[in-house]
Structure 1
């Protein structure tokens, strides 16, 4: 049932529109965000948001097939070097200029860089107007040694140039362009590689999709601000794929080191890769296992940051926490319901008229806000606010706006993006017409650090959440030029969830609530829509969209020399926005950076560059401590500094399912600290979905509940059933915090993802390829979530069961009689998520507390799950949980065999908490005695499990102060 004590019914059903002054309407009353807003404000004109309608090349039946039309190149002047070879590629015959002007001469360089990495680099001889990804953004790998034993072999065909990468140990062709011409034009690069039948490819993100790149997949790599469309291009760009070959039981990876706009087509036996600028800079990683291939790639782009220990706690957010009192209420509610809360977050509600680095003086008065933050910190809890990428431009006719220092300071330092004519580029985001920091600018770091540091003195945040950093703009082009006297302006779309949006199955699993809400929605939805329309200045049912009557594609998408046709390239990618224009809902491609770069070449880097500057700024505010930073737009190497959330998902079971393959992909890209908006962001969740999702989310590294303005409240205490389910799964999560933190450290040092696919763990068994409805947490925990409504069971498979592996029920400790390759039906009533421990594992635990700090002060435990051979192993890593440069750390290695458990610590971090208990699963017969060292220990035996207790007395100096041996 819904606990209406805290959440009046009708206010939940109504969308809460943002007023022109940034205030929010709640229950019919307006809470003013400022007393200085103009009396009249404007809505962004709708026609400024509509781009030129593009016909994506892949859907254009009249489009030229570059493979058929291109002349290709011949390889000349081949020269061998100590690390590989080089040569000159000469265009064959006359230029065809298909989607750009052909380059006549190209340089080829092939480098064997290490035992596991090979580089193929192709670039024009004349590099004028050719963009190359700078080393300072993503380090360009170099030759590590000339004494190599590589399993990769480069072979080539000189006439009609093509090349192959062959695995020497198996003779298998891993990548081959032979038989297809290389296309290299000023705005179009294309190559093709053959693939084996029934290929198993993954990667090429970011996208909402299953984990495998199945035949027929078309992938666009262009960073976009859009609400998680299935198969569309979204926030991040990661041009790397992993090719798993079951015939040879090998996996390799291919990375194109480029920030260019890209498109990849996957077919039954081919992969076509296109880019609209840049150079060919391909890196091949030999693997040979999936996990090793991932590690090789991640180590090359940058090993992940070690997140602070507290980040593993539970995070609560929503768009709509619109006052200090509301934040206090939510924090108190969590305490009253005894649901652990580590961090409370703010969406844009806290801002003064939606401007970065401000706080609303009425809803978040600084004195009250600061008292709230001090109390939060005194309780070992944390606060994280959102920061957008755009900076409001003050209205020159409004004297009260002139002191908006974040704009004034940036303008003085010349740190905002420019138009080609060197005027300031002015787009539109939440507060109105805005400018965009140019993170390539000379003074960008000084500016950004200054704004964040100054703001931190007022608002003592513990981390930052970077949004809209693709970079997003609500209009096409520099729409605010000559228009800033209209500021502040409102977006031209309705803000707030549709009143009647609920998940699949809501009317069945929430039947009583469904009847109540249906009656209420019928009476209020019309008013809600009208209110939202008034706020947006448009009519929802007749919002103008680009149609075929828009400017002709033929008139815009023409060939041009030099950099080419920047805004309308001759080759139109399948950009996810409705009109497919590159400038729709994004800064225009012709926006110019201070160093001469154009947005066309570096658009996919904006979020990554802002990430780097923000990371450095946070370090400046809190030197020596690990910055906590969650961002939306990512790029290869972003994981060195940040975590990522899955963006604007929807409250539905489909998006709960897609969170799993999204986590696999993001983890393989080197960003293991990942999570999605639990219970869903867009639309209204319900009791069943939120119950299931709160439990699933507890096994992701980043665990946050967040939803949209105007949707019903979805904190876990809203429903009794969700409260119960949440407490169950949170208790497990907090119990396993030492294991989770050890996994974070493993990711930090090796590049291994936190959540793992079956096909990574069992790479020789094709039966488990592409399974996205189950996953391992590390190597040891197998999670089988319910991902559909109105069921009380779930099917799951258990790799290697009773052949190479054994599994134990986490809750009962009982050994399971599973069979390899068989679907097993598991009981999964609401409030229960099936969880199994993989035999051969040893998991460190700690008694859960309300906060992470409280948990860290509690006693330790161990769960020993013996494998089929009676052995198990595991490890523990601990440090102070916050230092950027760790000087004190302790590792503990655990090994169980022959009825003996050994714990061997090494390191200098003092672990003062005692060891309370050890649970040993899979012991076939009751032991007569259990010894901890030479001392007898208390124990119980049930369900083939030995439960050893009372160890505090034997570990008073700390659980792992010394090596110990337990025998049974």
Structure 2
């Protein structure tokens, strides 16, 4: 978890420190008292330790230099045809400008038509000076390059993407989709700038573009058209619109066209949208394979990409729709996501502040008492000895007691996942009792990041002064795997939670190099719950739900502020700050303070992070691969777990990710806040990570930072029930927010969880499809209904797979919510999940839906068949329950669905089962394929939209009529229900063989 000043960020709530009418948010969880191993006073790092240089981002600097005005660009020559395209030499077209670095005089251009829908444009320096490493090119060992498909010669296929270029007045290029004539990327009228610490290229954009991606950040789904997207991994508590933990230099561009009467497509301007007209859309994707710090300037008519080094390695995906782009991007570049273990789709509970094993035992008991499903208990850093990885606090978390607790947990079908941070504590060399075996083994294996002079780089994180694993070191994987093994033998965990892997450090530079005798030390900031830093933040909306108490608190707070103001001295005269501006030195890279300053949330690149000059074993600087640190640690953890359990799917939850991390990890949205806005932002966050190939996504439900309240947690617990990863997690010293704290939240959670757990077979099948073909799980309405321009920015509701739509309430004190029902104009129909009846909605308009507290509107798309099982308190119980099918007929009385079943945990299951369902002409067909033996019977089939009129209802299964008492039909709602089939079929397994149900 990233630390933030919990009092400062919430400026619109009442902050008081006295009891008001009995409401007083008490610090229920104090900071751990056992974080040190010695009796001596704990040294606290000064605040200045994590303060860097005062920098002014280039985009905010009125005195900035525009490279486009001064740089000459390049000219192409020596063009040669290659197997997959052509190559050329790019030479400076004039005198070097050296604006933000040293211009590279000669570049190599390679253009590859890699497949019908994929084009690669690669520009690298012709000569790379390995002696002073003036230019770093991303290694294929770290991030593999997409390769041309077999038989992908231009002469062997007809690529849909066309590359053209010009030397007038300097080198520029254009990428066009030939099937539509749409120009996807065009640098004409701009110059290419290529320096050792600054690369810039610009593409014009048409008026009808819609961009998505370029993460990670808290932002709406569609990127704003006057916005700067910074990509640089940062340990920061979820501010809006800035760079966060992950680095995903990929965007999807969707453009809408109006279809004329003669079939011609005319680009649509935003203001031209008219529901009476017909539109189509085309999407394409762009991926820049570069791990340096990025800054992408988005403007209404252009996109400017700036990086702090590396190469231009662009991949264009022609689509022509989002599903094709996403599948091709995953299959060619970043890899397919793993199929998660079945248990991971259950409910997870965590908080920073569970004090001991007994409290975790009570937690499990309370969930059971209130009959709320619970699958996994998570442990934040509380369990550790002084916050050290792979250790246990001897007093509060003794190992033997933990083994007993975990044994009982596993017997109940539950699981435990602990946290592992990226930094490794260095024991105090003057204190023999401070020994730490993980460090000693790592030190013996020589696996630490170093300073440029070869000494070990020593930063600081939770335990004190720490070192950082160098994942490029030869012995790093072996050492890390051994630590995972030792840890498992101490406490048999079921997965691992990787945090602080940006990689985070609480001081600038190697601050611990001469200070190890001070260890353990306290961070320069107070932890929540420590004296002077108790969370007294009132929940957002407290002034509405508790008006009398709020008025009293406001009066008291105003009086306090007036008293403070009366004694405060007059403000001092301010002067303009003196910003550090770095002047480029020819041939030399200033990695700590590069001449171009990106709009980084922390300012200085070394603040709250390992310094850019930290050096890897091969000489690579952290500056060049900082954005890959979390990616590498996740990789090491995944493969470490795979080594320990060769045929068991590793479950890893990682914070800092890069393009391609999704083939190893799940991800959560980081240190969000207990505010309504963050519940809203969780939807575009999740949808963006669908584009990045990380479908196993969720957020800290009810919020992490600050205090949640009953209404917010009620709504949020229901919303997150439809996210792939479902976890409640909050900060140390905040008021509790487990779902059983409030009675209304108990009922709301159980209601939504019952739907989720019944739909686990559907969700699992969606993940199998994502794992095998690269489809998405959570889907934006615009992706599933690509010809409706009104959906381009829709991110307040979403689809779970193709068949389920969720329309949550996202604001306080609301009892209704407006929702749009896409596709109705084209014959799409939607059924209310709860009433099972056709929902009456108007095409192209919002419909007001009743949504009292505790109710989340959910709709089933006509044409869907959803496989389900009986909801229960654990996924193990669900997997052993009878099957049912929910059939939602479309306007033509047809439907289709799929089911995938396996053992739920094997990397390569020995046997699997696939079932395909179709409905046509009042016949439901189930066709099975596979050898996996599912022993559960079929119990119920419900058919929505069945039009049987008033005639008697006869239902036949495989030629045998089902007794009338097992069949019901409601002529008004048009719901046909067949129940008790497990008795009728005498316990026969549901998918032993194909069958037909006729009515």
1:331 is matched with which residue? 364
The partner residue of 1:240 within 240, 246, 250 is: 250
Shift of residue 519 of structure 1?
12
Question: Would you say 1:509 and 2:553 are equivalent positions?
Answer: no
Matched residues, number = 925
Question: Would you say 1:940 and 2:963 are equivalent positions?
Answer: no
More off after superposition, 741-750 vs 921-930: 921-930
Structure 1 gap ranges (5+): 1-8, 24-31, 526-540
2:213 is matched with which residue? 203
Tell me if structure 2 keeps the 8 A contact 1:774–1:783: yes
Question: Would you say 1:158 and 2:167 are equivalent positions?
Answer: yes
Q: Which runs of structure 2 are paired with 1:683-722 in the superposition (5 Å)?
A: 683-722=706-745
Question: Would you say 1:960 and 2:994 are equivalent positions?
Answer: no
3-state SS of paired residue (1:13): coil
1:553 is matched with which residue? 580
1:26 is matched with which residue? none
Shift of residue 46 of structure 1?
1.3
**Judging changes above 3 Å, is the alpha-carbon distance between structure 1 residues 960 and 239 closer, same or farther for their aligned structure 2 residues?**
same
Q: Deviations over 1:392-417 (max 9, x none)?
A: 1111111101x301111111111010
1:435 is matched with which residue? 467
Question: Would you say 1:96 and 2:97 are equivalent positions?
Answer: yes
Question: Would you say 1:900 and 2:910 are equivalent positions?
Answer: no
1:768 is matched with which residue? 791
Shift of residue 57 of structure 1?
0.2
2:780 is matched with which residue? 757
Q: Distance in 2 between matches of 1:719 and 1:337?
A: 11
2:981 is matched with which residue? 951
2:11 is matched with which residue? none
Shift of residue 291 of structure 1?
1.3
Tell me if structure 2 keeps the 8 A contact 1:387–1:465: yes
Shift of residue 638 of structure 1?
0.6
**Judging changes above 3 Å, is the alpha-carbon distance between structure 1 residues 315 and 523 closer, same or farther for their aligned structure 2 residues?**
farther
Tell me if structure 1 keeps the 8 A contact 2:779–2:800: yes
The partner residue of 2:592 within 560, 567, 570 is: 567
1:627 is matched with which residue? 650
Shift of residue 113 of structure 1?
0.6
Question: Would you say 1:731 and 2:754 are equivalent positions?
Answer: yes
**Judging changes above 3 Å, is the alpha-carbon distance between structure 1 residues 11 and 748 closer, same or farther for their aligned structure 2 residues?**
farther
Give TM-score scaled by structure 2 length: 0.90
**Judging changes above 3 Å, is the alpha-carbon distance between structure 1 residues 42 and 176 closer, same or farther for their aligned structure 2 residues?**
same
3-state SS of paired residue (2:115): coil
3-state SS of paired residue (2:746): helix
The partner residue of 1:143 within 132, 144, 148 is: 148
Q: Distance in 2 between matches of 1:890 and 1:762?
A: 30
Q: Distance in 1 between matches of 2:803 and 2:424?
A: 46
Tell me if structure 2 keeps the 8 A contact 1:164–1:178: yes
Q: Distance in 2 between matches of 1:441 and 1:414?
A: 8
Shift of residue 516 of structure 1?
11
Q: Deviations over 1:321-354 (max 9, x none)?
A: 1211111111110011110100000000000011
**Judging changes above 3 Å, is the alpha-carbon distance between structure 1 residues 321 and 240 closer, same or farther for their aligned structure 2 residues?**
same
Question: Would you say 1:84 and 2:109 are equivalent positions?
Answer: no
Deviation beyond 4 Å, 4+ runs, structure 1: 9-12, 510-525, 547-552
Q: Which runs of structure 2 are paired with 1:574-589 in the superposition (5 Å)?
A: 574-577=599-602, 580-589=603-612
Q: Deviations over 1:886-936 (max 9, x none)?
A: 221101000011111101010111111001000000012355211111122
**Judging changes above 3 Å, is the alpha-carbon distance between structure 1 residues 100 and 829 closer, same or farther for their aligned structure 2 residues?**
same
Tell me if structure 1 keeps the 8 A contact 2:30–2:353: no
Q: Distance in 2 between matches of 1:16 and 1:930?
A: 60
Question: Would you say 1:493 and 2:493 are equivalent positions?
Answer: no
The partner residue of 2:423 within 373, 387, 390 is: 390
3-state SS of paired residue (1:111): strand
Q: What's the RMSD between the two structures over aligned residues?
A: 2.1
1:608 is matched with which residue? 631
**Judging changes above 3 Å, is the alpha-carbon distance between structure 1 residues 648 and 814 closer, same or farther for their aligned structure 2 residues?**
same
The partner residue of 1:351 within 347, 364, 384 is: 384
**Judging changes above 3 Å, is the alpha-carbon distance between structure 1 residues 10 and 388 closer, same or farther for their aligned structure 2 residues?**
farther
Tell me if structure 2 keeps the 8 A contact 1:643–1:674: yes
Q: Deviations over 1:204-234 (max 9, x none)?
A: 0001000111211101000000001100000
Q: Deviations over 1:290-309 (max 9, x none)?
A: 11111111222100011000
The partner residue of 2:296 within 255, 258, 264 is: 264
Shift of residue 750 of structure 1?
1.8
3-state SS of paired residue (2:824): coil
Q: Distance in 2 between matches of 1:423 and 1:551?
A: 33
Q: Distance in 1 between matches of 2:788 and 2:71?
A: 41
2:314 is matched with which residue? 282
Shift of residue 134 of structure 1?
1.6
Q: Deviations over 1:460-502 (max 9, x none)?
A: 1000000000000011111111011111111111221753324
The partner residue of 2:873 within 844, 850, 873 is: 850
Q: Distance in 2 between matches of 1:515 and 1:861?
A: 53
Q: Distance in 2 between matches of 1:512 and 1:872?
A: 55
3-state SS of paired residue (1:895): strand
Q: Distance in 1 between matches of 2:337 and 2:576?
A: 48
Q: Which runs of structure 2 are paired with 1:205-220 in the superposition (5 Å)?
A: 205-220=215-230
Tell me if structure 1 keeps the 8 A contact 2:25–2:538: no
Shift of residue 550 of structure 1?
7.5
1:472 is matched with which residue? 504
**Judging changes above 3 Å, is the alpha-carbon distance between structure 1 residues 11 and 369 closer, same or farther for their aligned structure 2 residues?**
farther
Shift of residue 953 of structure 1?
2.9
Q: Distance in 2 between matches of 1:512 and 1:693?
A: 26
The partner residue of 1:670 within 693, 696, 702 is: 693
Shift of residue 138 of structure 1?
2.1
Structure 2 gap ranges (5+): 1-21, 258-264, 266-280, 562-567
1:186 is matched with which residue? 196
Question: Would you say 1:360 and 2:422 are equivalent positions?
Answer: no
Give TM-score scaled by structure 1 length: 0.93
Shift of residue 803 of structure 1?
3.1
